[in-house]
Structure 1
Amino acid sequence: MPAPIILATATAVVAVLLTPFSLLVNFMPLQRLLLSMVGTTGGAVPRFDVAEAVRRVTDLLKYLALRRPLPNDGFYSPLELAHMGDVQAIFQGVYLTAFVSCLLTVVLVVLLRRNGRDVRRVARAAGITVLALVAALGTASVTIGFDALFITFHELAFANNFWLLPEDSGLIRLFPENYFMSYFFVTLGASLIAAIFLTILSRRRRTLRL
């Protein structure tokens, strides 16, 4: 496979995996639904009323995406603030990588088309690769459990143990572990849909050939 096709495929794979996460995490209707589902604002004994939870989540998302300071109201402990500083760095990296990968994919596909290449190969290879990765992650979450994946991710992503927060901390009460599990499967599903779309798109007839 020619190098430009490989490069375009790689950027497309990264874009399909990271863009759903970057977009959906800031989609407040989804956040409201998840917060209700995991008991933060719903259930028999909600931990927060809807208005406060939405305000806290909105402030946190602005902090992660735009680096806006969090309210200085004592809700978060010094340990939580230290951990969120690390989380902010990861989010910034994910946002930047998603944006750059989308931009590069578009540029590379345009260049390939101008050079008479059949860009279906990019769509097909990217779609199949993402399908395989989604299947692997889904299988791992079922066989070894989401808890194990969650812990492994934190051990690899963070150079400290600030993420080991007490159960009564603001972050844990706002975002229990089942929140992250729910969001994990939502974004995995979004990537799956995008991969299926790419695979179907690659089957369209074109006259261009490599």
Structure 2
Amino acid sequence: MQDHIVVLTGAGISAESGLSTFRDNGGLWEEHSIYDVATPEAFARNPELVLRFYNERRRQLQSAQPNRAHRLLAELESRYRVSVITQNVDDLHERGGSSQVIHLHGELTKARSTRHCDLVYDIGYRDIELGETCDRGAQLRPHIVWFGEEVPMLDKAAEVVRTADHLLIVGTSLQVYPAAGLVYEVDLSVPITVIDPGEPASVSRARVIRKGACEGVAEWLQSL
């Protein structure tokens, strides 16, 4: 049976494709406070601003390309069983070739109903308009897990982590919960590697490669 490699990715891997992250900009995301564009209260207060913000992010994503780290992780599937659990809302893992991706914080290329959370639509890179509704007549919103909302894929992600033979953490500071808690779901016998150029939160027994995602993943593969 193939070893199961579970990869937990964060904003750092997407940053190397040119997508900005709010944690690198003093709590601002493209000059917007997260509290103005990434909370349910923000959407209730100013839905037009929130929709415009995510429409812009979607257009930015369309022009971005998967980088070497995305492609190297996808290529692992030829030799291993690979599951990617990402905190990112972009589709770069899928476009890079990964077939098993869990999005903890939602997906930018989807929209969902504001009243019926089971109604989710693939919209690609097009805009969501104010007044655009789901099949039951409720306004559509980005399919994003905003601050203060539950993370519906967390339990599934925890189940996947528990089956890991290797845990690779790429481009995340491990400071955003509940996603950061997934590292504690792995069996004590499982090797953990953290790839991040900064100072990620301490993970006992983890090997740390303080490099960017592309360079770090390539180095890790040489030792696999």
TM-score, reference length from structure 1: 0.26
Larger RCO (alpha carbons 8 Å, 6+ apart): 1
TM-score, reference length from structure 2: 0.25
**Larger-gyration structure (1/2):** 1
**Which structure has greater helix proportion?**
1
